[in-house]
Structure 1
Amino acid sequence: MNMLMQPTNTTESTNLPYLCTGEFNLSIMQKVSEIITNPNYQPFKRKTKKNAQTVIQYYVSNSPHTDHAFYYLQSINPISTLLLEHSTFKISQSVMAVQKAYANLGYNSDGPINPILLHNEQYIKGIKPAVDVFVYELKSHWTSKIAQADRNKRISLINEIKKANARMMKKLFKTYLRFNLNHFTYVFNVKECTFLKDKIALEKALTQQITSMINKFHENHRSEILALFFCVQRDLSDNYVLNVYCATERECPPLSMKDCITLRNDSYLIIAPNSNITLKIQEIDYKMDIQDVYGKNEKTWKSIFGQMVAKYNYVYYESEFVSPKFIYKEY
């Protein structure tokens, strides 16, 4: 069966397995928040210079952090009201605060802040009052109860996910020392799916189909698979993204889930007549080695996995059928 294996056009070039442009936009806003809400951060630093018998005070950019923050802000796009009010996309309070404060900055200044001019003292003199207000808004929001509660919830969620994975990987490294870790990324685009108008019904049918695929894959390779875990998330480009990891012994050839997927016309996933859900596939085989000689060791894997779930700091999707947590098949 020929599979549709298009490049993921909505994906930015990053080290992460998959990050759509909408999420990349939020990640930039999160970075801005992290820079500015650092307790020690101030956008400008005061300098003095002597002119004859007069001491003149002026300000310069507190680079590189100020430069970085405003370079990032140049490339962000406003978040739509529809997304901000979406009940199942959990956008961080930090990101929403950046959006609001940046909009206010636009009203309070003559135009966008030009990072190229941040080392011009006359330019800084003109923008400093508006930038100080922008920084004050973000720092004030960061210490609010609603922002603290949101951060704590996200930190707790990420730690829970990382600890569950660390326990399983520790057992694998201890038992096998060296093994394969197959990683499948399946992107289901539902934008053209007009048959199921009810988005909840569509999500239910799709997640049921995904569960069926994984169960079939698990059954077909039960004797080869040492561990299997997966997660489904919805992204900001009308896609549902399935990440599947399965461990096998080093001698085992790389596995694939392609044979467990039934497509119509080699293009569309079948969950209902005329469902029109397209599928994009990426399958990678990691080599794992406890000594970090012939593959990635436990410490390196923790870093890779931590990067993948770090985006939950600014956005994740959670509904009746989809969870940010990974599901582990029991053995």
Structure 2
Amino acid sequence: MVQTREQKSKPLPSLTSGMPPWHSTFFVGALAAITLTHLPSLESLDQMATLDQFTHRVFPNLLTLRGLALIRLSIAAIAISLTIYLILGDGWYVYANYKSASKLRRDYFIRLKGLGTLCPFTSWCWFFLGQAFLLNGWIAMAVDLGMEDTIQPWMMRTALVLSEISFPFALLVSTAVKYAIWPAVLAGGKPHNLAGFRNQMQHNCNSIFALTEVALLGGISVDFRHLSLATMVGIAYILFTWMMAVIYYGNQEVGPQYLYWFQDTTLGETTTFALLALLVALTTFFGVFAGIEMLIETIGGTFLTKLVFVVAVSAFVCKFR
């Protein structure tokens, strides 16, 4: 039987604030200061965020501009529909697998429902992905319909930023679930639904959609010089998690709770090392995805060759059961 917030039969923990250790706060603050000074300028974004960027087709003989727009808009519709379904649905419970050194209460199950279903990092990435395909598709469609005058510079900048964030993050989420989160959940022995429809979509289709875009559809670029965009989102999510630990995930009686064990602020130096590992992961996958695009462009090949490439990379990062 699943325990809820109302069940308070067990002793309450002495820990109630869950404030991150000073070195974690210092690390995030220093990283934020560095990141803010290295964010791409509007001029840098405008150099890439052009109509050619969003109307280019990898295989123009096989795909019309309208076809490109419709595929992108269809992917956006899938992503947005799932997000709406999650918000309006019954939600789900998260069973945190804290480490033995954790001071957090272990018998409390986090209920995500309504807008709370958008709290996981996976949901952030899925939302960004949906909005990226929506804008990319709309820009391509507007050009096809001769409505270029409706496309504002901010729209193209936003579309580029969302693409550069969501595509590498899709690969990161899929890989983390397959090689870290799924094994940890199995080892923890707690209930999970990682093989369910929602998880399969958000953990696997995200990478398939991103790889399909860059290899088979429009080939929207991810510039490694815009790496600071990824670290900025990572910082925002860390701060969001620290804030929500008591406000939503836990409460003043139960104490702080976290969706992922590596966000646990009670692990001392391990907390900061986990933040460093997150930074390394974000930067690595940003670079990996930029490298994948360069590799695709270098090797060229037919539609079948690139389709095989998409299938191979997807099989490497995705776990279906």
Please tell me the TM-score bracket, short chain as reference.
under 0.3
Question: TM-score, length-normalised on structure 1?
Answer: 0.25
Greater helix proportion: 2
Greater strand proportion: 1
Larger Rg: 1
Which one scores higher on RCO, CA 8 angstroms, separation ≥ 6?
2
Question: TM-score, length-normalised on structure 2?
Answer: 0.26
